[in-house]
Amino acid sequence: MPPSDRCWPTARQPALNQRIEVLLIDLDDTLYPPGNGVWRLISDRIDAYMTDRLGLSTAEAGRLRSSYLEAQGTTLQGLMRDYEIDPSGYLTFVHDLDYPSLLSPDSELRQVLESLPQTKYIFTNASAEHARNVLDALRLEDLFSGIVDIVAVGYANKPDRIAYVRALDLIGSPAPEVCLLADDRPENLRSAHAMGMTTVLVGSGNEQGVDAQIDRLAELPQALPHLLDADRSEERPRD
């Protein structure tokens, strides 16, 4: 496929040649393109959880979801606070999907990820089980060194800074400056950017706090070609 018109580095020049050792990649609507039905079905199941399990009206569930997402980044955070729900049961319910019918192997993305020498992790506000199911359907699981999910970071979530701090601790405490986050939500990238990470927006949105913007994750090397340079990624800065 031809390069996207929006596959470009933005103005924060230091990131364009920053030595990158770790790729943190979001899952939903980042690892796979939006519009394939996965997030719509998850969204429907979140609504069903709120109406069937909590007895809310459809209108009230919609209002609360919008409020929770804006204020806290996930519906789960708000439900845990206001309704004291069991987060494990919630995650199991909302991610009960027929993955093979929604996702298929992505050979182009696999080739791109194989070409990048950095250590790769999934960093998601969803569950590890959901992430494994997505990776399995895409045939990409063997390319990632691990999954940092919302459970692993103590139910903190992006864009809360503590989620990023805990994620880095879990993967061996790399400096933020040698990490790259690819995500479809600008608010998640702004938190990472403030910590010193290189940030890549996958999709459209406010570019504040974004070092590069691409339409699809497979375009990552086009936006930041130095990622393909293994020698650069292994260099150590001089005093």
Chunk the chain into consecutive blocks of 10 residues (it has 239) and report each block's average pLDDT, rounded to whole numbers.
42 60 98 91 95 94 91 92 95 97 96 97 98 98 98 97 98 97 96 96 86 96 84 42
User: How far is Cα 130 from Cα 132, in angstroms, rounded to an integer?
Assistant: 5
The CATH number corresponding to 38-94 among 1.10.1240.10, 1.10.150.450, 3.30.70.20, 1.10.3720.10 equals: 1.10.150.450
Residue 204, pLDDT score:
85
User: How far is Cα 8 from Cα 178, in angstroms, rounded to an integer?
Assistant: 20
Residue 17, pLDDT score:
63
DSSP annotation string for 32-79: S-TTSSHHHHHHHHHHHIIIIIT---HHHHHHHHHHHHHHHSSHHHHH
What are 178's two structure tokens? Answer: 């040698």
Residue 205 exposed, middle or buried by CB count within 10 Å (0-12, 13-18, 19+): middle
Computed on alpha carbons and rounded to an integer, the radius of gyration of the chain in Å comes to 18
Architecture of domain 8-33+105-234 in CATH? 3-Layer(aba) Sandwich (3.40)
* CATH 1.10.150.450 residue window(s) in the chain: 38-94
Residue 237, pLDDT score:
42
Residue 207, pLDDT score:
80
